[in-house]
């Protein structure tokens, strides 16, 4: 490459991949030398999140990019674990909130009591057995069951519930019974009491992290009837589903987040809820401010809605 033209390039002009990271050697060879690499780094057309690993400015710094970076820099015995392992197992709710805006580091451990120290990984030591790991797309990863036990112990309680639900929805090995059986091996470990508490509550029918969190909080109110996720209701236009509901009194709670119920979903949601209301369902809508932050009022809405549904149910004539 003629270095005189570097000033006129944009990131998409570079003869480098935009969908994956690459090594310094690959960048040097494609660009014609180390001076071109240095010049494009200064201009911001090449980015380096960790030493000697690069990506173009046209690439997206998402979790997939960080996993790909790990392939290039991690030693052969590195094992991906926790949230990152859950994500690789297909758990859509595995990554923390707003991870699309600020990608989290890749969770990884080294069996030899060592650590990776770089900007794209969160690393530590972990006791591991041979049957705790598997291989996914050439990466060594904790199994879905081991991953569930780890996130159930080590994440904050509500986030742990969301990831456990998501794993249960994608892996047949993640069940309440199997996790409860596993807790004996973690006796004395950090977070094992939380794991025992959450294991019986796991439900793979949950469709979003806020839905899992609302269900967990609802179940923490012992005087309220227990909710069922994704309640099916047959309407004149076919089968419809409610996020959380109590069929006996026809009460339901639904979470509307901008990431799940944007404008394109508004018409469908309105029609669905109208049909369900005609069938006698009381439906409360919960949004982000109802669940999170200083002004959260989820419990007030929930208790008021249940009372309203119970009164309405009591007035119905016996079948």
pLDDT 10s digits, 230-245 = 999 988 888 989 999 9
Of the ranges 28-42, 158-172, 303-317, which is most confident?
A: 158-172
Q: Is the torsion defined by CA of 244, 250, 251, 252 positive or negative?
A: positive
Looking at residue 121, what is its pLDDT? Answer: 82
Looking at residue 258, what is its pLDDT? Answer: 67
Q: What is the mean pLDDT of residues 22-42?
A: 90
The domains of the chain are located at 3-56, 64-201, 209-315
Looking at residue 67, what is its pLDDT? Answer: 86
Q: What is the mean pLDDT of residues 184-205?
A: 96
Q: What is the mean pLDDT of residues 153-168?
A: 97
Q: Which numeric CATH code is attached to 209-315?
A: 3.40.960.10
Looking at residue 77, what is its pLDDT? Answer: 82
Looking at residue 97, what is its pLDDT? Answer: 81
Contact 46, 37 (CB under 8 A): yes
pLDDT tens per residue across span 168-194: 999 999 999 999 999 999 999 999 999
Query: pLDDT band at 11, cuts 50/70/90?
Result: low
Query: pLDDT band at 279, cuts 50/70/90?
Result: confident
How confident is the prediction for the chain on average, in pLDDT?
88
User: Is 209-315 the same fold as 3-56?
Assistant: no
Looking at residue 60, what is its pLDDT? Answer: 83
Number of other residues whose CB lies within 10 A of the CB of residue 90: 14
What the block records as the tokens of 132 is: 């705790």
> In this model, does residue 1 exceed pLDDT 50?
no
Separation in Å, CA 188 to CA 153, 184, 192: 11, 9, 7
Looking at residue 270, what is its pLDDT? Answer: 79
pLDDT tens per residue across span 243-271: 999 999 999 999 997 665 556 666 777 78
Determine which of 120-124, 139-143, 154-158 has the lowest per-residue pLDDT on average: 120-124
Q: What is the mean pLDDT of residues 122-136?
A: 88
- Residue of 50, 58, 52 whose CA lies nearest to 19: 58
Q: Does domain 3-56 have CATH number 1.10.10?
A: yes
């Amino acid at each position: 490459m003629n270095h005189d033209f570097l000033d006129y390039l944009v990131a998409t002009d570079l003869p480098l991949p935009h969908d994956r990271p690459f090594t310094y050697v690959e960048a040097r060879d494609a660009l014609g030398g180390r001076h071109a690499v240095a010049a494009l780094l200064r201009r911001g057309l090449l980015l380096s999140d960790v030493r000697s690993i690069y990506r173009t400015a046209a690439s997206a710094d998402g979790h997939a990019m960080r996993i790909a970076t790990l392939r290039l820099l991690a030693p052969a015995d590195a094992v991906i674990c926790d949230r990152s392992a859950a994500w690789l197992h297909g758990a859509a709710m595995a990554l923390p909130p707003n991870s699309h805006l600020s990608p989290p580091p890749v969770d990884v451990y080294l069996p030899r009591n060592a650590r990776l120290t770089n900007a794209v990984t969160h690393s530590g030591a972990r006791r591991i057995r041979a049957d705790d790991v598997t291989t996914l797309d050439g990466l060594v990863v904790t199994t879905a069951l081991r991953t569930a036990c780890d996130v159930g112990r080590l994440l904050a309680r509500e986030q742990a519930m969301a990831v456990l639900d998501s794993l249960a929805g994608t892996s047949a090995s993640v069940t309440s019974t199997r996790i409860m059986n596993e807790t004996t091996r973690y006796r004395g470990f950090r977070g094992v009491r939380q794991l025992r508490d959450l294991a019986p509550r796991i439900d793979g029918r949950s469709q979003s992290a806020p839905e899992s969190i609302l269900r967990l909080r609802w179940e923490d109110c012992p005087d309220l009837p227990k909710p069922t996720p994704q309640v099916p209701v047959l309407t004149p236009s076919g089968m419809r589903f409610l996020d959380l509901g109590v069929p006996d009194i026809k009460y339901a709670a639904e979470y509307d987040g901008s990431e799940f119920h944007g404008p394109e979903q508004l018409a469908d949601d309105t029609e669905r809820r109208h049909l369900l209301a005609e069938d006698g369902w009381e439906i409360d809508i919960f949004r982000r401010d109802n669940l999170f932050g200083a002004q959260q009022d989820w419990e007030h809405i929930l208790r008021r809605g249940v009372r309203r549904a119970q009164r309405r149910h009591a007035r119905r004539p016996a079948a």
